[in-house]
Amino acid sequence: MNPTRSLSSEELRSAAIDVLKINDLGTMTSAAPNLYPHMWSWDAAFVAIGLARTNVPRAVTELRSLLGAQWSTGMIPHIVFSDNDTGYFPGFDRWGTADAAALPAGIRSSGICQPPVHAIALRHIVDRGRENGGADQEAAEEFLAESFDGWLAWHRWLATVRDPDGVGLVEIHHGWESGFDNSPRWDGPYSRIAPGAVPAYTRRDVLHVADASERPDDAEYTKYLWLVQQMAEVKFDDAAVQDVVDFRVRDVFFSAIMAASSEVLAGLAMELGREQDALELQGMAARFRAGVASTVDPETGLARDYDVLAKEWIGTETVSGFAPLVAGGDPALLAAQRDLLRGPRWMGFPELRFPLPPSTSPTSDAFRPRTYWRGPVWPFLNLLLGWASARDGATGLFAELRSASLQQLSDLQFGEYYEPFTGEPLGSLAQAWTAAAALEWMGTAREDASGK
């Protein structure tokens, strides 16, 4: 194993700030140089959390830019295309969203969404602004008031359009919507897709990794593009998409984030004196918490996705199985999940470089240590699990995740994801949300040291 170099917290902080500056496009942050030159929805939320530790007004700008791309339906798209044209594929033209009636004028975006982490980021911005006082507090509170209706519309869209049966589970129509793009969670649903004719394409993502096997293969990618094509053919109309798309899965981890963020947004609504909206959001939070809990496999203790078209549960042993820890809820369930997370199939697996949960359990047949969402460790995800642990008073788990995460990130490479056994950074380096995670972890460390 490679030893992690010793460095001061100020060195780590300075390096993380530099990464955010490298990726700063002025009013939005690219996810990473070269490979990801645009704004991604849930990346932007984590970036805003990190930015709030150093520049509250810039954090506000990040979320304001994202919200400016919100569709008239309430959906927040998963990519907002910048003017930084580096040939990213699939680009705006390939998405075919120009003909979508709900696309705002002057906006170039994709036609699908990603998990709604944004209210959690908004909470961080407001808290950092109030800690700093003065102009920072004014900027944060003004943004809360001006943007609240947009976030509420986003949550309402998810709660209605993507949970039409009211079961408390968000339905996704593409693996990209989950953020866990090629996770083995989706192997079953994708195996049943037989793509029609897909126009020729040239991928760029494989040009930015040392080994193309780290990324999804071409057969998988063709299916990804086929789903986009299906949605584009009906102009991304919500009702029509559900009727034609070949991928319909109730995503338990997305649903957990919906539960957690709805609770946070309810608290912000109360601060604005919007009690009815707060009650509505609390109802959403309760519904999606219950939905997440209902998926837990009594044999494995892990939460599961549900394939709507095949009418079957998806029980692959991935980190999404810890969705209840994000959603919150029943203390007994959360305690059991923490024991699992710390156990020998996850953080306690003896060969791990750092005791952090891989995206797929090393004991699973689906585990691939270097392949995107099939095994590597994702720093932003550990931050989310840490945040939820702190929220629920699980201070021990929070401290473990923070300590190991700061050790992992001390290589100053800020990898997109990390090889779980060697600690090697993989994917695109100088990843914005990885740098943001480092800044937030260091901020919480200082708060602990000061007794807050």
The tokens for 411 are: 């290589």
Contacts 24+ apart (CB under 8 A), 265-269: 265/119, 265/122, 265/151, 265/152, 265/155, 267/123, 268/119, 268/122, 268/123, 268/126, 268/144, 268/148, 269/148, 269/152
Give yes or no for a contact between 77 and 69, defined as CB atoms under 8 angstroms apart: yes
Distance (Å, whole) CA 443 – CA 131: 12
Stretch (H or E) spanning 305 = strand 305-307
DSSP annotation of 32 reads B
- The reply to whether 18 belongs to the active site is no
Tokens representing 292?
């997440």
Contact call for residues 56 and 138 (beta carbons, < 8 A): no
Annotated catalytic residue 181: yes
Nearest to 344 by CA among 317, 369, 324, 368: 317
Of 24, 181, 237, 392, which is the active-site residue? 181
CB environment 172-185: b (16+ within 10 A), e (fewer): bbbbbbbbbbbbbb
Enumerate residues 6+ apart whose C-beta is below 8 A from 120: 45, 49, 260, 261, 264, 387
* Residue spans of alpha helices (H) in 3-133: 9-22, 41-51, 56-67, 92-95, 118-132
| Annotated catalytic residue within 177, 317, 416, 440 | 416
DSSP three-state, residue 192: coil
Name the residue type at position 36: Y
Cα–Cα distance for residue pair 391/349, rounded to 1 Å: 26
User: Would you give the end-to-end CA distance of the chain in angstroms?
Assistant: 36
Distance CA 452, CA 440 (A): 15
Q: 171: which DSSP letter? A: E
29: helix, coil or strand?
strand
Using alpha carbons only, give the angle 6, 32, 187 rounded to the nearest 5 degrees. Answer: 100
Catalytic residue set: 181, 416
